[in-house]
Structure 1
Amino acid sequence: MISRPIKGIIFDKDGTLFDFNATWGAWARNVFEAETAGDPDKLAPLAAALGYDLAAGRFLPESLVIASTVDEIAQAVLPFVAETDPSVLIARFNSAATRAPQVETTPLVAFITSLKSAGLKVGVATNDAESPARAHLCVAGIEALFDFIAGFDSGFGGKPAPGQLLGFCNVTGLAPSECVMVGDSTHDLHAGRAAGMATVAVLTGVAGRAALAPHADVVLNSIAELPNWLNL
């Protein structure tokens, strides 16, 4: 349990609010097959470059997809596909991502509502683009509950830099010391520490406890355990 009062929580999205592989595992294979027209001589190298296990339909812990922006992912994909314009590829990825069914790590409407009822400010900081991020939150019925939502393209930069987190503080009027960053990757935790926030790691992404623990004040199985850690 944390000892100091917390007034704000900023969440990563994929792997934190939504289970990473349960959401993106099967979706990714479909996208990769479409981009390579199912050519195994292109599909296998593409999967390897992105750290994706084709047989299991899961991203591996070392995958660059885990914490990268869609711009970075597109650059990694370009050598393996016919598309040569990264902006076109990014637009296709964002469009496909908007339609991806999201698997919640805990019933999110009840969870976020309980945090708001406790008087907390809540935000989302994701390395996804803002538009698909908002679409995912809207489908889950929680977009309107957040005080702040930022993607890598929202003008604050992306993680592991702390710009999104400091933007949350500016919008809510809270000091970083009054806030917690909750995420499933070291990018999230590095951003939180750079901003001066407490850091909480969750295991609903791809990274394991050993990789996350050195960078977090606590490692939880999921955000469902957060209220107890916050003494709510």
Structure 2
Amino acid sequence: MRPRVDAVLFDKDGTLFDFEATWNVWAGQVVAALSGGDHGLAARLAAAARYDLAAGRYFPDSPVIAGTNAEAAACLATELPGWRVEEIEQFLVEAAADAPLAEPVPLVPLLAELAAMDLSLGVVTNDSESVARAHLTTAGILRVFDFIAGADSGYGAKPAPEPLWAFARATGHAPDRVVMVGDSTHDLRAGRAAGMWCVGVLTGLATAEALSPFADVVLPHIGHLPAWLQGAPVEND
């Protein structure tokens, strides 16, 4: 049975923006900048973040993928004894604002279509709120969202349900009339804990097999969301 939905809550990285196309290149740039040309240090930083330097991509088990900037900074700090974790986190926040964003589908028309369905829209990310707002502004979609929260917005971070409940309160919708859309088990576990419907998408690094136990449906990407909400069968691209 398809849910009666009043609102859609999106994760950012891997959902609104394709994870690999956006963050693999960025991560290589960060490792290069922090290592300052020291190839041994670059290898150690990459290992700490579970990033494959040779392939230029994260390993699927990287804690950075669904983690917060603070968690990513803590990973890197093990190899940067001259840096405080807070300094690394600030470096990551500033660097992330200029990440090369890759949309899995054209976002402006898709979000306009969802807004025309009289749905409240929001974003809850484990990135910082300032970076989220910068990315949404760059993509030309900031104003369509009724609520935006990052891990530093005061509601906590996924997989805890508190930031999702904050969206429900802010928009005045019962959690069971909200759909949480994300590419990681962090997103979907948060959605389950919040009592929301859960939609997985395959534009992150998680497989359908990994997401399915926590999802009501797994879609190739968010472009399939309007049709699914209106009862159409799921099609693979």
Which category describes the TM-score, using the shorter chain as reference length? over 0.9
- Give CA-to-partner distance per residue, 1:12-62, whole Å, 9 cap, x none: 000000000100111111111110112221111221221111111111211
Alpha carbons of structure 1 residues 130 and 83: separation in structure 2 relative to 1, 3 Å: farther
- Give CA-to-partner distance per residue, 1:84-108, whole Å, 9 cap, x none: 2111111111111001121011111
Name the residue aligned to 1:144: 143
In 1, the alpha carbon distance for the partners of 2:10 and 2:3 equals 19
Q: Secondary structure at the match of 1:91?
A: helix
Q: Taking structure 1 as the reference length, what is the TM-score of the superposition?
A: 0.97
Runs of 4+ in 1 over 4 A off after TM superposition: none
In 2, the alpha carbon distance for the partners of 1:16 and 1:83 equals 35
Q: Secondary structure at the match of 2:157?
A: coil
In 1, the alpha carbon distance for the partners of 2:77 and 2:146 equals 36
Name the residue aligned to 2:15: 16
Name the residue aligned to 2:125: 126
**Residue 81 of structure 1: CA displacement?**
2.3
Name the residue aligned to 1:157: 156
**Residue 82 of structure 1: CA displacement?**
5.0
Give the percent of matched residue pairs that are identical in Structure 1 and Structure 2. Answer: 52
Is the 1:61–1:206 contact (alpha carbons within 8 Å) kept by the matching residues of 2? yes
Q: Which runs of 5+ in 2 are unaligned?
A: 232-237
Is the 1:36–1:80 contact (alpha carbons within 8 Å) kept by the matching residues of 2? no
In 2, the alpha carbon distance for the partners of 1:3 and 1:212 equals 18
Name the residue aligned to 2:105: 106
Q: Which runs of 5+ in 1 are unaligned?
A: none
Q: Secondary structure at the match of 1:61?
A: coil
Q: Secondary structure at the match of 1:22?
A: helix
Q: Secondary structure at the match of 1:180?
A: strand
Is the 2:48–2:78 contact (alpha carbons within 8 Å) kept by the matching residues of 1? no
**Residue 4 of structure 1: CA displacement?**
2.4
Q: Secondary structure at the match of 2:78?
A: helix
**Residue 119 of structure 1: CA displacement?**
0.3
Q: Taking structure 2 as the reference length, what is the TM-score of the superposition?
A: 0.95
